Amino acid sequence: MFKLEEAQKLIDENSNKLIDEFHEHFEQVKNQHDEECGCEKLDNSSVFEGWAIQKISALQIVILQLTNDLENIRTRLKTR
Q: What is the pLDDT of residues 13-38, one digit of tens each?
A: 999 999 999 999 999 998 888 777 76
Of the pLDDT bands very low, low, confident and very high (cuts 50, 70, 90), residue 75 is very high
This prediction has a pTM of: 0.68
So what's the pLDDT on residue 41?
77
pLDDT digits (tens, 9 = 90+) for 56-68: 999 999 999 999 9
Q: What is the mean pLDDT of the chain?
A: 89
DSSP, res 21: H
Domain ranges in the chain are 41-80
Query: Which strand (E) or helix (H) includes residue 2?
Result: none
**Closest by alpha carbon to 48, among 28, 32, 31, 25?**
25
Residue 37 to residues 7, 15, 40, Cα–Cα distance (Å): 43, 32, 8
